[in-house]
Structure 1
Amino acid sequence: MAVDDQFTELIPKTCVVLGGRGFLGRSLVLMLLKLGKWMVRVADSALAIQIDQYDRDSVLSEALLSGRASYFHVDLRNKRQIVQVIEGASVVFFMDTTDLNTNDFCSCYAIIVQGAKNVIKACQECRVQRLIYNSSADVVFDGSHDIYNGDESLAYPWKMENMLGDLKAQAEALILSANDIDGLSTCALRPSNVFGPGETEFVPFFVKLAKSGLAKFIIGSGDNLSDFTYSENVSHAHICAEEALVFQLASVGGKAFFITNLEPMKFWDFLSLLLGGLGYQRPFIKLPAKMGQYILLLLKWAHKKLELGYFNYPLIVRFILSASHTRTFNCAAAHKYIGYSPIVSLEEGVALTIESFSHLARDSLYSRYCSSTGQSKAEKLLGNGKVASILLWRDEMTSFTYFLALIMLFYWFFLSGRTFASSTARLLLLATVILYGYAILPSNIFGFTIQRMSLSSFDISDAVVEGSITTTVYLWNKGFQNIRILAQGDDWSMFFKVAVSLFLLKLILSHSSLTTLIGIALVFAFTAFFVYEQYEAEIDGLVEALFKSLKGSMIILTRNLPESISSLLHNDDNFQPSKAPGRVKGLR
């Protein structure tokens, strides 16, 4: 009997991977074949299988030639085709199909929900023992509430903004409810934000945004956490689930499990790693979350009213919602009941993904954006401090607040028609009235609590006072020293610097265009550096070309000068101080 058991274990089991040519289906097929104990039937909507670069090491090609793998064309809307594929298989892995048109709700419903019903019935008719469904963490996300360390006790939301998540939830519920009926054991896996080589949605979507310049925007605060899952870890989880269904039917059958890399991080930090690794500019301009909601409403209107066929509204909604909310999940149940632990770390997964998408990388001309420092020339010119952050619009709300405040001050002092002293007095009076009015406000107005300012906000530390006094004394002494140097009449360089500076100041103040110049300078400061950072290479190239053309013009000009002037300029250029005495001696 023991010999028979050993012989049975040597016989490869037959499994079916529905959606085996999709992103996750490919990864699972390769892992099953590498294990060497499976006969794999790859089933998908394509009429014939095509081997490409993502089928690494020719594993699939060799398996097809040897008979360990076979391909079947199947339409999930046709139960008879499904029965023909899974007949005689012991386990079915139900993955995502490749022919999903996310702009066609009826088609999506027929493939995802009706397809799940057909798969369940076919498995029951063919006496398949195990059915494992690749679901999604989106099935518990309503699109408006954050999820912190969510576990399997989370219920399906009543309403979802993500159409695919809604349909996935319906299919998952059908498959889990079919557990232990007609000898079929089922379970579902819920990976979160899956990425990896050959992925066709997440990375290509944001690379396309980066190419259009839209990926520089951060929706919300940018502090929202997310869980990510490398594709190979998802495949590993499916194999763990299949083994667990064999031995732990009560604790695994009919259950769903969250699958992640167990390394939650800020969504925008993760996206920055991918885009930076591919040579694109990292997101840095923050947009309010409300603006993201308005964008969704606009996209929804465009999707319904304009009927744009190329407009992938569900995909955009899915990514915008994921990018602006916290979504982290607890994988303790998956670890306990199916024995899942990640086999590829997040860092390694990101590196492998970047390598696989090298064909989408930006031109090396822009490789400065993926440097370790990530600092642009504009940022270095501005000192890498708070001023740089404001003028380069790192935080849009902060920069806009400073810009608006400066515009108001500009109007107050220069455009109001008052003198500088009068404007200053009025400003101090306004500040006094505001502070007094704030102090006498009640603590509660119409249910809104008025936050009181702490008296410590008006305190100035001793260190700041000492520093200010020290700076004032230094400037006073420096100015007195310069005045004494001028009075002695020994330093002509100092005299000319002061004289020219005062003359220029007189010219500026004597003209009515001072107000215009200040206004232009204000607008220039908040636009020029930002524009320069966006088009640094183009501007540098243009300046270099101008210098080259200027240099060429100077050469042509000197060639056309009279010989006497040209030789004089040439001798002045070659003049060496060490040879001056010799030249003087020769003239005697």
Structure 2
Amino acid sequence: HTAAIIDLMGGASATEEYRRRSFAVNVDGTKNLVHAAQEAGVTRFVYTASNSVVMGGQRISGGDETLPYTKRFNDLYTETKVAAEKFVLSQNGVRGLLTCSIRPSGIWGRGDQTMFRKLFESVLAGHVKVLVGNKNAKLDNSYVHNLIHGFILAAQHLVPGGTAPGQAYFINDGEPINMFEFARPVVEACGQRWPKLRVPGRPVWLAMSAWQWLHFRFGLPKPLLEPTGVERVYLDNFFSIAKAQRDLGYQPLYTTAEALEHCLPYYVELFQQMKAESGQSLVSAAVPVPPEG
């Protein structure tokens, strides 16, 4: 199960409708799938969670699956993923269904319409002027083919007496990296200049958190950066794949460099497409539409 509303805003300031929509899809939708699987006699269920279920705004360097669930929810995505993963794992062994959960990091590769699309939107809007946080802050990512490999291994080990039933696993590329250093070659390949000036992360996070509160309470436009997204680039948040290696025999199929070589043409094409669409939108706004008839 991989469908979800991926929005890193939320917290106590979120509107009730915003909360209802996120829980309806991410939690209730997951419960419906589990119950449907049990009704149909399905025996294996691999859930897609997120590494954010244990983060909670703390620095994590090489964290493992013994970390407790976070109780600090600054975004609804994390809050709903915690609730859904807890439910999925609680259903392990119920009515013949074996369950486990995979916790990816940022998912990237050909077909990506989330990670780099958001970055490209910011670049095209002229918002990428500085880099946030220390250059030594690292996170990890999950190249789509490495992630799929992890899913297949989990399903293969999701059998009676196997290692996977009832377990959660971090699946990533095993190469922690600074987010801006990861993104730089992609943006430069798109013909865009990459900023060099860095600003401290904490003040940016405070400003975006206040902006988010104003957005939900008074209807101001969304903040330029989601507070949780800011935390991810200025705080260490990378996780060990040792448990997946031990239990599932997982090893990334591609290094970050190999994966980037494979999917760079896709990202350049995506950027050019978005750039063209952005130009068309500006033209449409500037040229009056002739009346019909």
TM-score w.r.t. the length of structure 1 is 0.43
Q: 1:149·1:328 contact (CA, 8 Å) conserved in 2? A: yes
The 1:180/1:192 distance shift into structure 2, 3 A limit, reads same
What is the deviation of 1:360? 4.0
Q: Counterparts of 2:228 and 2:6 in 1: how far apart (Å)?
A: 15
The 1:139/1:160 distance shift into structure 2, 3 A limit, reads same
Aligned to 1:311: 222
Q: Counterparts of 2:30 and 2:49 in 1: how far apart (Å)?
A: 11
Aligned to 2:14: none
Is residue 2:36 matched to residue 1:122? yes
Instruction: Write out the 4+ residue segments of structure 1 that deviate beyond 6 Å after TM superposition.
Output: none
Worse overlay, 281-290 or 174-183 = 281-290
Aligned to 1:158: 71
Q: Counterparts of 2:219 and 2:181 in 1: how far apart (Å)?
A: 34
What is the deviation of 1:317? 3.0
Q: Counterparts of 1:301 and 1:126 in 2: how far apart (Å)?
A: 44
Letter paired with 1:311? K
3-state SS of paired residue (1:123): helix
Q: Counterparts of 2:201 and 2:226 in 1: how far apart (Å)?
A: 15
What is the deviation of 1:348? 1.9
Letter paired with 2:164? V
Is residue 2:91 matched to residue 1:178? yes
Aligned to 2:147: 234
Q: Counterparts of 1:263 and 1:226 in 2: how far apart (Å)?
A: 9
Mapping of residues 89-108 of structure 1, within 5 Å:
94-97=1-4, 100=5, 102=7, 104-108=18-22
Mapping of residues 258-337 of structure 1, within 5 Å:
258-307=170-219, 311=222, 316-337=226-247
Letter paired with 1:292? V
3-state SS of paired residue (1:245): coil
Q: 1:101·1:107 contact (CA, 8 Å) conserved in 2? A: no
Is residue 2:19 matched to residue 1:112? no
Aligned to 1:195: 108
Q: Counterparts of 2:27 and 2:223 in 1: how far apart (Å)?
A: 20
Alignment partner for residue 343 of structure 1, among 249, 253, 259? 253
Alignment partner for residue 205 of structure 1, among 118, 135, 151? 118
What is the deviation of 1:306? 3.8
Encode CA deviations 1:458-498: one digit per residue, 9 max, x unaligned: xxxxxxxxxxxxxxxxxxxxxxxxxxxxxxxxxxxxxxxxx
Q: Counterparts of 1:167 and 1:301 in 2: how far apart (Å)?
A: 19
Give the unaligned 5+ runs of structure 2: 10-17, 274-293
Q: Counterparts of 1:273 and 1:319 in 2: how far apart (Å)?
A: 20
Give the unaligned 5+ runs of structure 1: 1-93, 364-588
Q: Counterparts of 1:221 and 1:255 in 2: how far apart (Å)?
A: 34
Q: 2:201·2:231 contact (CA, 8 Å) conserved in 1? A: no
Letter paired with 2:2? M
Q: 2:186·2:268 contact (CA, 8 Å) conserved in 1? A: no
Q: 1:150·1:330 contact (CA, 8 Å) conserved in 2? A: yes
What is the deviation of 1:222? 2.2
The 1:245/1:273 distance shift into structure 2, 3 A limit, reads same
Q: Percent identity?
A: 26
Encode CA deviations 1:40-81: one digit per residue, 9 max, x unaligned: xxxxxxxxxxxxxxxxxxxxxxxxxxxxxxxxxxxxxxxxxx
Q: Counterparts of 2:199 and 2:217 in 1: how far apart (Å)?
A: 26
Letter paired with 2:20? C
Q: Counterparts of 2:80 and 2:242 in 1: how far apart (Å)?
A: 26
What is the deviation of 1:352? 2.8
Mapping of residues 353-368 of structure 1, within 5 Å:
353-361=263-271
Q: 2:48·2:103 contact (CA, 8 Å) conserved in 1? A: yes
Q: Counterparts of 1:267 and 1:357 in 2: how far apart (Å)?
A: 16
Aligned to 1:252: 164
Encode CA deviations 1:260-303: one digit per residue, 9 max, x unaligned: 11111222211212212222222311112232122222331332
Q: Counterparts of 1:300 and 1:317 in 2: how far apart (Å)?
A: 8
Aligned to 1:468: none
3-state SS of paired residue (1:262): coil
* Bigger Rg, which one: 1
Encode CA deviations 1:164-190: one digit per residue, 9 max, x unaligned: 011111100100111011111000001
Aligned to 2:12: none
Encode CA deviations 1:352-384: one digit per residue, 9 max, x unaligned: 332112234469xxxxxxxxxxxxxxxxxxxxx
3-state SS of paired residue (1:357): helix
Encode CA deviations 1:95-118: one digit per residue, 9 max, x unaligned: 124xx3847221110111111221
The 1:352/1:215 distance shift into structure 2, 3 A limit, reads farther
Encode CA deviations 1:394-433: one digit per residue, 9 max, x unaligned: xxxxxxxxxxxxxxxxxxxxxxxxxxxxxxxxxxxxxxxx
Q: 2:140·2:177 contact (CA, 8 Å) conserved in 1? A: yes
TM-score w.r.t. the length of structure 2 is 0.83
Aligned to 2:127: 214
Q: Counterparts of 1:137 and 1:304 in 2: how far apart (Å)?
A: 26
Higher share of residues assigned helix: 1
3-state SS of paired residue (1:246): coil
Q: Counterparts of 2:72 and 2:154 in 1: how far apart (Å)?
A: 29
The 1:147/1:232 distance shift into structure 2, 3 A limit, reads same
